[in-house]
Amino acid sequence: MKNTKLTPALVLIVASLSVTAGCASRTTASGGKETTILGGAVTVATNSFQPPAATTAAVDTTKLVGIGNPSGTKTTILWGLITLHDY
């Protein structure tokens, strides 16, 4: 007799471990926090008012949404290929 309840639980555990693999957080010199997910595929930095690199497709979300008071959040996707910033 097969145990069908074990298979979904095992799949959920393996999926959650693969998503959290390579996660790291650190405090930056500006007092913000930088979190790296999936070995650098996604990086989220707070209080990061540095300009995006010249080699990235940068998107200023304050111009898209039109809300004032920039937060300084920068999100890089695919190891810096795409950068979303709010400043």
- Domain span at 38: 23-85
**What pLDDT, in 10s, does the model give residues 40-72?**
889 888 888 888 888 888 888 877 776 667 778
**Given a cut of 60, is residue 83 above it in pLDDT?**
yes
- List, in order, residues 6 or more apart from 22 with CB less than 8 Å away: 36, 37, 38, 39, 40
Is 9 contained in some domain?
A: no
Number of domains in the chain: 1
Of the listed ranges 21-25, 27-31, 45-49, the least confidently predicted one is 21-25
Does residue 14 belong to any structural domain of this protein? no
- Does residue 5 belong to any structural domain of this protein? no
**Is residue 35 a part of any domain in this protein?**
yes
